Every structure is written in structure tokens, then in C-alpha cells.
Amino acid sequence: MIAPNTKLRSIPRDAAFAGLLKEDVGFTEGTGGTADVVNGWFDTLMLQSGIQTIPSVWLSLCVFSGVSFGGIFFVLTERVLMSSVMGALGLLFPILVAMVQRSRRQLQIMQQLPLMAEEMARFARTGRNVENAFMMLAADTPSPLGNELRVSARRIEMGMDVGTACRDLVQRTGVNTLTMFTAALSVNQETGGDLIQVLERLSTAIRDRLHFVARQRAATISSRLGSVMMITVPLIVVGFYVARDPNYLNKLFASGWGRFSFWTAIGLQLMGSLIVLRILGRTSRF
């Protein structure tokens, strides 16, 4: 016997009002310049990290952190150059916290995906339609994935179809595996097919991908640690020399070659760090 669909408490649907929803809201101006790219990256970071604050507040926190780090170091040492460096590090500290938060959140979402696909298949097996099954799935799924599904569920309540409501799940979470889930729902809604079998195979594929990512990380642990050492060892060496001889930087900046060598090393260090972090980011994508 097919179980009846439960009546959902929602706004009466009217396709005429579906256009009121904004599908893409961001702080970028669309000019395509360097500043616009940086703004887009920061907006995406704040969105995918799940931090419940507006980007302007987080930017203010970055400025406060930079001033605090630099000011405290200047009061303790009275060195302008090193205080500036510490201020720059303090400016980046909240951004690093957001990046760590995003990685943890993406890992939690990835671990929830197999159970979510199985739950969706179970709801569909009872005879419920795709929209009703998705609404129940969004209500039962815990955070952080449940929060994103409930955003799509509210869009469905306002008149959007399932495929359109779930289209930006990948952008909001940064988990590329969700593309298969949204594609399965969209194709089933447009052309039909066995949604239950697709969801069960999707659950198996996600579990296999999780095992592959875990094996990849275990196999490349030495390479990733070596990359981190390449970034941190120069900083440790400079810190050691400064701690050993407080006038080390003053002697270094006393000559033109010393200043040229210092700033050249800083530039190469930043360039190498960006390249290494980009490689590590690409290898850890879900």
C-alpha cells in the first residue's frame, strides 16, 4: 500500500510570484577586474564557511585583528618593521579561520551525503512525489547540510521547481559532489525515470569517493607536510636570527643589497606560498 503524502504547511504556490526570488546575490560589481575577483572570492568564502555574519563585519574583524597584533608587538619590542609584519599576519588571521571553518563544514556535508541520498530514496519509495520527498528530507537532515536543503525547500514553497531551487547548492557549499544530486533531481523532474535506483547508486558512488579521498590523503601526507614545511621554515629561520640578534634586521637594511634581498625573498615566499596552497586546495576538493 502506498503511503499518502503528508500535507505540508507552506505558502500557496503561484508560479507568477516565483520571479520575485533572487537567484544570485553577491557583493561583486561584475567588472571582471582584480578587485572584483578578490571580492567574489571573499563573498564565496563567507557563504561556504557557514559563518552567520555579513562580510563587512568580518572585514572589520580583520582590521581589528591586524591592529591588535601589530600594536601589541610594537609595544613589546618597539620595532616598526616587525610590527608591520605582525599586523599583516593579524589581518589574515580571521580569513584563515574562515578557510578552516569552510574545510570542516565541507567535510561534514560530504559525510552526510550518502545518508541523505538513501533517505531521499526511502521517501521516494513510499510513493511520494519528488517535491514532497525533498521537503521531508530537508526537515529531517541535520545541519550543516540540512540548513542548505531548507533554503531550497523554502524556495520550493514559494513556487520554484526542485531543479531550480537546488541549482546553487554547489555554490553555497563548495561541495562539487552535490552536482550529481541536483542533476538527478532535475533530470527526473523533466524526463522521469527510476529516481530510487539513481539515488541508491549515487549513495554508493559518494561512499566510494570518500574512501578514495581518504586513501589519497593518506598516500600524500608526506608531500603535503613537506609543502607546509617549505612555507614555515623560512619564517622560523628569520625569527631565530631576530631572537638571537635584535639588531639583525637593522644591519640587514643598512645596505641596498640587504634591502633588495629581503624584499625579493618576501615576494618569492608569498608567490611560492600561493602556489603551494593552490595545489593543496585542488587536491583536497570533494
40-68 pLDDT, tens digit each: 888 888 888 888 888 888 888 988 988 88
**Does the pLDDT value for residue 69 go beyond 80?**
yes
C-alpha cell at 180: 550529481
Is residue 177 within 8 Å of residue 113, measured between CB atoms?
yes
Q: Which pLDDT belongs to residue 128?
A: 76
Residue 241 placed within a domain? yes
C-alpha cell at 169: 547548492
Quick: pLDDT tens for 132-186.
Answer: 888 888 888 888 988 999 988 888 888 888 888 888 888 888 888 888 888 888 8
For 130-144, 166-180, 196-210, 238-252, which range has the lowest pLDDT when averaged over its residues?
A: 238-252
Residue 119 placed within a domain? no
Residue 285 placed within a domain? yes
CA distance 151 to 223: 39
Q: Which pLDDT belongs to residue 1?
A: 32
Q: Burial of 39 by CB count in 10 Å (0-12 exposed, 13-18 middle, 19+ buried)? A: middle
Residue 52 placed within a domain? no
C-alpha cell at 158: 514559494
Q: Which pLDDT belongs to residue 105?
A: 92
Residue 31 placed within a domain? no
Q: Which pLDDT belongs to residue 5?
A: 43
CA distance 69 to 156: 47
In the block, which residue shows the cell 567574489? 40
Q: Average of pLDDT values for 110-124?
A: 86
More confident residue, 29 or 215: 215
For residue 31, what pLDDT band results from cuts at 50, 70 and 90? low
Residue 271 placed within a domain? yes
Cα→Cα distances 140→48, 135, 147, Å: 21, 9, 10
Q: Which pLDDT belongs to residue 137?
A: 86
Count of domains forming the chain: 1
More confident residue, 148 or 247: 148
In the block, which residue shows the cell 625569527? 239
Is residue 129 within 8 Å of residue 161, measured between CB atoms?
no
Q: Which pLDDT belongs to residue 14?
A: 60
The Cβ of residue 12 has, within 10 Å, a number of other Cβ atoms equal to: 8
In the block, which residue shows the cell 526511502? 122
DSSP 111-156: HHHHHHHHHHHHHHHTT--HHHHHHHHHHHSPTTHHHHHHHHHHHH
Q: Which pLDDT belongs to residue 29?
A: 57
C-alpha cell at 175: 561541495
Which range marks the domain in which residue 229 is found?
220-286
Residue 8 placed within a domain? no
Cα→Cα distances 78→41, 82, 83, 239, 242, Å: 35, 9, 8, 16, 13
Query: For the chain, what is the mean pLDDT?
Result: 79
Q: What does pTM read for this prediction?
A: 0.73
Q: Which pLDDT belongs to residue 275?
A: 79
**Does the pLDDT value for residue 10 go beyond 70?**
no
For residue 83, what pLDDT band results from cuts at 50, 70 and 90? confident
Residue 281 placed within a domain? yes
Contacts of 251 (CB under 8 A, 6+ apart): 245, 258
